[in-house]
Structure 1
Amino acid sequence: MNINFLNMSKVEFIKKSIMISLGSLINAIGVNLFIIPSKLLNGGLSGISLILHYLFQIPVGLSLLLLNIPLFILSILKVDKKFTLFTIIGTVTLSFGLMFTAPLIKVLSPASDVNRLLYCIYGGVLSGLGIGIVFSNQGSTGGIDIISVIAKRRYNMDIGLASFAMNFIIISIGTAFFGIQVGLYTLIVMYISSSVMDRVLKGFSRQKMLIIVTKKTEDVSSAVMSKLRRGITILYGEGAYTKEKINIMYCVVSPTQLPKLKQLVREIDENAFISITDTSEVQGKGFVNIL
């Protein structure tokens, strides 16, 4: 296979394709196991496919694949080949995954008012996890993703705004057919899915970023590097009021290491200034990537 146009190796292409397929399959399981038994909707073309399924009993996977074919052609003409290829992989896997996992619809009892919220939560989590894996590997599941990318590149329209507008229309149509309760529960699913997807894209492990200002730079840096095995970067700054030259220490540690680091700094210089913030993703030596 000649993949030079993708600017990646065959190993990287195979790895991303496998991960995109896995994410799409997880998404399909979430839809069939929780979303459909709840008679709820979803965002994008999946939402339209679910409406067609509830009204005319058309298989969700089949209608999703057919609805995406014109968009595949549009993507080939308007978007880069890498995005189009990975989108086709994601969408085809999702469509066939929905078909093959359709028996899961009968595994759980039909949702009642009591357990529908649980179905919303678990369906949203699985869908968000699957979509997050797909997106983190430069893929998509087609539909609105293609339209949003084209809107961004051709009309400089915000992708989030374009997606929100189209999802709002789809949910409004579903609400008109199936009632306001379905629309409200669907919003819960979409919110949970979006939140989980965001965590997957940014990383599940929240690290702590510290800015330390102290006159005992060498003592603090030596203690941190020897006792915590964490590196420190020293930046050179100047006090805005005093015009005094100061050393600014930059360090990233895990949440479990934070108390020990603060203790070390206080033992060396109790007047040290420490600023601590959450950082959602850290890559490099000493930090393991989730995906």
Structure 2
Amino acid sequence: MDELQQIWKRHQYVARASAAFIYGILVSVAMNFFWVPGKIYSSGITGLAQLSTTLMKRYLPFQLSTAALLFILNVPLFFLAWKQIGHRFTFFTFLAVVFSSIMIKSISTVTLTKDPIICAIFGAAINGFGTGLALKNGISTGGLDIIGLTLRKLTGKSIGTINIIFNAFIIFAAGAVYGWPYAFYSALGIFVNARVMDIVYTRQQKMQVMIVTNKPKSVVDCIQTHMRRGITIVHGAEGAYRHDQKTILFTVISRYEQLELKNAMEESDPYAFVSISDNVKIMGHFYEPEP
């Protein structure tokens, strides 16, 4: 058993390192093929690094590349993550940022088009896919992710407001530097990035599950073997067609766990009726694995 656990851990480490490397490639493609030619700013710390590079070119006698600034701006956040979130999480986040900085610096800028709308949409879609892939594999891409996870751990509150304020600053900066139409193009890119990231990274999307079954004990045991979820049991339900006794089970899962739920139901009661509702708002405790 210990040997299997070691093999599984090594597999997880390789998967996370690979996801960090792939993210580095994707963000560099988004940056050098679309954002730079289209004069589009990204969201978060990446956008701040782009803005800082632009201002340094205009107003300072020296300058640093976006790749270098991306790493420098993340350094204090690495220390925060190491102290507040976890060493393993910090290590793989560090890898993701290092790979990003190296790839952005190494891959030359290619002007496929200067159309700002195309650059905003395609750059954001590529970056959103990379970010979602990284999050799906249990790593962060640095920046606001670290601040958000830290605040959620300390206060239990979301970082949504800070994200909105920070990205609004980036959007207005794009307008001030390149002209106000580019503020709207950058806003479009930030929106597309978030949507694509949500499509890829589904762990934060909650779903309510209702199960009508004749085998409640088997179903409960199997679900809790496959995933760590609480279940509410309602006895005494009655089927309207045959008037046979049923039990109703309620639980909430993440979209990421749908396959595990399906496997659990096939093992325990393949004939059970299962209804799943999207977009559930949770009040109270909902277990989420540590990064």
Q: What is the TM-score of this pair, normalised by structure 2?
A: 0.65
CA contact under 8 A between 2:70 and 2:101: conserved in structure 1?
Answer: yes
Post-superposition shift, 1:155?
3.0
Post-superposition shift, 1:135?
0.7
1:85 aligns with 2:81: no
Q: Which residue of 2 aligns with 1:108?
A: 112
Q: Which residue of 1 aligns with 2:55?
A: 55
Alignment of 1:171-250 (within 5 A): 171-202=171-202, 238-239=237-238, 244-246=243-245
Deviations 1:215-260 (A, max 9, x none): xxxxxxxxxxxxxxxxxxxx9862499994455899x99xxxxxxx
Could you tell me how far apart the structure 1 residues matched to 2:138 and 2:158 are? 19
Q: Which residue of 1 aligns with 2:71?
A: 65
Post-superposition shift, 1:118?
1.5
CA contact under 8 A between 1:24 and 1:131: conserved in structure 2?
Answer: no
Could you tell me how far apart the structure 1 residues matched to 2:154 and 2:133 are? 27
Could you tell me how far apart the structure 1 residues matched to 2:22 and 2:75 are? 21
Structure 1 portions without partners, runs of 5+: 1-5, 204-208, 214-234, 254-273, 281-291
Alignment of 1:1-291 (within 5 A): 9-57=9-57, 58-101=64-107, 103=108, 105-109=109-113, 111=114, 115-202=115-202, 238-239=237-238, 244-246=243-245
Which aligned segments of 4 or more residues in structure 1 are displaced greater than 4 angstroms? 209-213, 239-244, 246-250, 274-280
CA contact under 8 A between 1:239 and 1:246: conserved in structure 2?
Answer: yes
Deviations 1:121-168 (A, max 9, x none): 211110111111111111111111111112222233313333223222
CA 1:82–1:142 in 2, change beyond 3 Å: closer, same or farther?
same
CA 1:245–1:190 in 2, change beyond 3 Å: closer, same or farther?
same
Structure 2 portions without partners, runs of 5+: 1-5, 58-63, 204-208, 214-233, 250-257, 260-272, 280-291
Could you tell me how far apart the structure 1 residues matched to 2:121 and 2:18 are? 26
CA 1:89–1:237 in 2, change beyond 3 Å: closer, same or farther?
farther
Post-superposition shift, 1:169?
2.6
Post-superposition shift, 1:32?
1.1
Aligned length: 222
Amino acid in the other structure paired with 1:108: L
Post-superposition shift, 1:210?
10
CA 1:70–1:277 in 2, change beyond 3 Å: closer, same or farther?
closer
Post-superposition shift, 1:276?
7.1
C-alpha root-mean-square deviation of aligned residues, in Å? Answer: 3.6
Deviations 1:91-142 (A, max 9, x none): 11111111111x1x23324x2xxx3211222111101111111111111111
Could you tell me how far apart the structure 2 residues matched to 1:190 and 1:247 are? 48
3-state secondary structure, aligned to 2:38: coil
Q: What is the TM-score of this pair, normalised by structure 1?
A: 0.65
3-state secondary structure, aligned to 1:37: helix
3-state secondary structure, aligned to 2:139: coil
Deviations 1:161-190 (A, max 9, x none): 332232223323333333321111111111
| CA radius of gyration, larger in | 1
Could you tell me how far apart the structure 2 residues matched to 1:237 and 1:185 are? 57
3-state secondary structure, aligned to 1:238: strand
3-state secondary structure, aligned to 2:37: coil
Could you tell me how far apart the structure 1 residues matched to 2:236 and 2:117 are? 53
Amino acid in the other structure paired with 1:39: K
Amino acid in the other structure paired with 1:238: A
CA contact under 8 A between 1:151 and 1:162: conserved in structure 2?
Answer: no
Amino acid in the other structure paired with 2:146: I
Amino acid in the other structure paired with 2:67: G
